[in-house]
Structures are given as structure tokens and as C-alpha cells.
Structure 1
Amino acid sequence: MRPRRPPANPPARARPGGGRAAPAAGGGVRHGLARVLSKAGLCSRTEAARWIAAGRVSVDGRTVRDPEFPIQAGRQQVRVDGQPLDAAPRIYLMLNKPRGLVTTVQDEQGRETVYRCFDGAGLPWLAPVGRLDKASEGLLLFSNDPQWAAALMDPATGPDKTYHVQVDGIPEASMLAAFCAGIEDEGEFLAARAVNLLRTGEKTSWLEVTLDEGRNRHIRRLLAAFDLQVLRLVRIGIGGLRLGELPKGQWRMLQMEDRRQLEAAAGPG
């Protein structure tokens, strides 16, 4: 079994104004109010700024209209419409993403997004847990629990992800082994944890590919290095959770057993 590569130390994240989160007295760190709402899983940061400007948010009982108003975690009481940040119930669901939708709330090019699948459902704000590109299909998770989502997306400890991939060729066993050995592409190391040949046609074949971390267009770039074009890419599993018979474009809430399957597949932090 190929060991996971430790994640690189990320640089300090800059604040929207160009500065970084300011240190606070007592060793804490202050973050802008809009970011605090977003990190609580209530909404996007853009939507949080709208709520704040509309006077829906208070800090220690006082209405605040500045999205960058500094908040120190655990020291100040933030409420939205009079309700504390932790009042919203946590929601966890899975979607069978159709091909042709982008994984974002709003697309600057006007393309349809995955949120179309939730029209009329009356769901609160939910963020995607990871991504599938426009041409990819299959299992995509959503939640308003940022800590749970972060644990699943951590490249060092998150669960493996399994894909069924149709390609325009029939790779030999040596090539399957090379997919697992990995390549360098644009300064990134790309490899599969496991690859199996599922079935073949005259000129195409289906592979089962398992990744223990997912970089941008990971599988497409890896296979392109061996002159294989991806014709279809369907994510069928995350950890022990499988897409199953969920119809395309449909979603369902995760049950406790579903969450246990995901969390059991994640390594210790």
C-alpha cells in the first residue's frame, strides 16, 4: 500500500483587504464577521456580507453592518436574526451529480450549477464537500458542517475516492502499474492508489481508479500523460459510502450509518 504523502504547509491566508487575520490580545486571532458566518456553515461569505449590510447580524447585542468587523472566537456572541450561530441544524447529504453542471453556487459564465438539483427543496445553505468538474459525474457530498467537511477533504487523513473511468484505449497491466507509480505534471505529483481494468470493448475500456487525494483534474491529467483520453468519469464511492442506485440529479440525506462509513475511512488527524 502506497503511503500518503504529507500535505505541504500552506501559506498564511490573506484577508480580503490584502492584510492577514489580526492577532488579538491573549493570543487569539480575530477574523472578519463575514468570514465567521461563512466558517459557521450558515452561508457563503458573499451572502454573509449581504446579511450584515441588511442589519440581520449582531455582536454582543449590537447590530453590526461592517463585514470586516473583527471577531475573536469564543469571546463575543454573534447572532443572525436573533439566533446564535450554532442554532442551525447540521445537514449532510449526497447528490448524484449529472454531467454538465459546475460545482459552485453561481457561475460567472452563466453555466448551470449543481444547486439546480436542490431547487424547491427548501434546504438551508450547504457547501460542496470537495468538487467534481463540469464533465464529471457521480457522488458529491454537501453539508453546512465546516469541521466535518474539512476532515473529509484533508489530503492526509481524508477517505479514498473511487471512480469508474471510460477511456479511449485498452491499457496493459504495465500501464496500470505505471498509473500507481505516478508522474510529475506541472510541478505536482499525480498517482492513483489503485487501478483495475473492469471491462473492455473493441477500442475502449472501463477502469476503476482509487485516489487517496484529489488534485485539480487529477485523473484526466494522469491518464493524458499516457495518451489516454477520458470519455466518462463517474465517482462511485467515497470511503465506504457508495453511490448505489441513487438516480442521476437526485439527492438524499446521509444516515448515521453513511456518516460512520465515511468517518471510519478517514485516518486519525
Structure 2
Amino acid sequence: MRPPARHGLARILSKQGVCSRTEAARWVRAGRVRVDGRPVHDPEFPISGDGQHISVDGHPLRAADRVYLVLNKPRGLVTTVRDEKGRETVYRCLEDPRLPWLAPVGRLDKASEGLLLFSNDTAWAAAIADPLRGPHKTYHVQVSGQPGTDLLARLEAGVHDEGEHLSALEARILRTGARNAWLEIVLDEGRNRQIRRLLAAFDLPVLRLVRVAIGPLALGPLPKGAWRLLEPAEVQALGRPAEAEPADRAAS
């Protein structure tokens, strides 16, 4: 029989959905966490599924109820908990006492808008954010100029930039105006500022960038800055929620 898997204490706290791994490490270093009644100050202290008891501030650690929500992110907010430059973050939109700790699933940069997922189910979030195996992501992009259909094929063929191959899985023109156009771009992988870098390679300045769907989940009529909980069927369609690990039992 294989010995039980061993994970660091901070990771266990994070997997219970009660806080981020970074915050968990702060709790441990501050002496707020005990294992079998003894204070532990090492975030990497090994925990296995052999009945160890974990408490935080004197209370037994319990896995938080799993929460899955979608936010229509406004432009101008940073996708982070705290910003070292003092900029407003997406958590401005989630100031609701009913919500537990939640982490963004992937990111949208400050100038981008649209569909942004949040959850305290770290395994579910990791599967969706996986750059190679996660669901496709669909964007509507307003660009300066009037791209032709020949450019769409070039976007799908892609370019090399900073040692990476950037390409669109699909690209099509939604509508055109006198000075600009709206494109729909589908990505099957996630790279940092991928669409902006890809379009810059073809001298197409981005005026607006809105994520409108992740896999089968569409943003729909959700108002800017508003959020809603996902339906169970939507959670399942994006990725099956994580099963409890043996380490969960150690937290009882």
C-alpha cells in the first residue's frame, strides 16, 4: 500500500477553499494555525491523510462551501487581491458579506473587460485556467482600421513573438465602421496579453477587448460590474468540481 500523499500546510488550507495559498502562508507564519494542538510556523509543514487535526485561531478547519461565480469585469480594474500601485481591483465588485474568499480563475488585464470567473475550488479553477487543456475563450475586439478577410487567415496562422507562437483558433469580422471594426477571436490556449500582441504584429491597435465566453458559458446580459452565481449545470459544463482529497479528512 502506498503511503498517504503529503502536502504542505499552506496548500492544504488553500485547498479547503478558506483562503489563498499566499494568505495561508501568512496565517501559518503568524502562529494562527495549529496541527494536533501545536502551533506550526512553517507553511511547508507536511500534512498527510492520517488523522491530523488542523485548527485556525482555535477553531477546527472546515472546508468552505464551494462557490462559483461569473463577473462582468469593467475596464480599469486590476485582476488581483492587492495592487502595489494602489489601483482599484476586481474585488471592488465583490464586496458582499455573503461571499467567502474567492480567487479569480485566470486573468483579464486592466484595459480588458468581460467574463471573469471566481471560485474557491482550486482544482476546478486550475483545470479551466490550464493554458493547454482549458476550455476555449471567445473575445470581441474593436480595432482601429478595417481588416480584410485575408488578415483573418493570417491571425489563425499566427506569428512568433518573444519566443512564443501566437495565433487565433478562429477569427471573423463581426461588423465594420468608417474607422474601426469589431472582430470575434477564439483562443484555445492562454498566453499573457495574447490578443493584443497578436494584433500588434499586424499593426492593428486594440480599442476595446471584451471576453464574451469561456467554453459554453456566455457572458449574456449580465450588467457591467455585476456578478452572479453559476448554476450547477454550468459548473459541470466548464469542469467537474474537485473531489475531496484524503487531506480533507486530516482537516477535521
Give the TM-score, by structure 1 length.
Answer: 0.82
Q: How does 1:159-178 map to 2 (within 5 A)?
A: 159-178=135-154
Instruction: For 1:157-236, list aligned pairs within 5 A.
Output: 157-236=133-212
Indicate if the aligned counterparts of 2:173 and 2:181 stay in contact, CA closer than 8 A: yes
1:62: Cα distance to partner?
1.4
Residue-pair matches, total: 237
1:74 aligns with 49
Letter in 1 for 2:185: V
Q: Shift in Å at residue 262 of structure 1?
A: 1.8
Give the root-mean-square deviation of aligned CA atoms.
2.0
Map Cα deviations across residues 31-67 of structure 1 (whole Å, 9 max, x no partner). 2x223322433212342234335544221x2132404
Q: 2:232 aligns with which of 239, 250, 256?
A: 256
CA distance in 2 between partners of 1:63 and 1:181 (Å): 58
Change (3 A) 1:170 1:121: farther
Q: How many Å separate the matches in 2 of 1:161 and 1:142?
A: 15
Post-superposition Cα deviations, 1:80-111, rounded to whole Å, max 9, x if no partner, equal: 3433342x100000000000000000000000
Within a 5 Å distance, the mapping from 1:1-269 to structure 2 comes to 26=3, 28-31=5-8, 33-53=9-29, 55-59=31-35, 61-75=36-50, 76-80=52-56, 81-86=58-63, 88-263=64-239
**Where in structure 1 are there 5+ consecutive unaligned residues?**
1-24, 265-269
The whole-number CA distance in structure 2 between the counterparts of 1:141 and 1:181 is 29
Task: Tell me which amino acid in the other structure corresponds to 1:97.
Answer: K
* CA distances 1:95-131 after superposition (whole Å, capped 9, x unpaired): 0000000000000000000000011343111010000
List runs of 5+ in structure 2 lacking aligned partners.
241-252
Measure the CA separation in 2 of the matches of 1:52 and 1:72.
13
Change (3 A) 1:68 1:261: closer
In 2, Cα distance between the equivalents of 1:63 and 1:51? 14
Relative to the length of structure 2, the TM-score reads 0.87
Q: Which amino acid aligns with 1:236?
A: V
The amino acid across from 1:161 in the alignment is: K
Alpha-carbon displacement from aligned partner over 1:234-265 (angstroms, at most 9, x marks no partner): 0000001010000000000001122233239x
Distance in 1 between residues matched to 2:43 and 2:29, nearest whole Å: 11
SS of 1:120 mapped into structure 2: coil
Percent sequence identity is: 60
Q: Any idea what SS the aligned residue of 2:125 has?
A: helix
Matched to 2:23, the amino acid is E
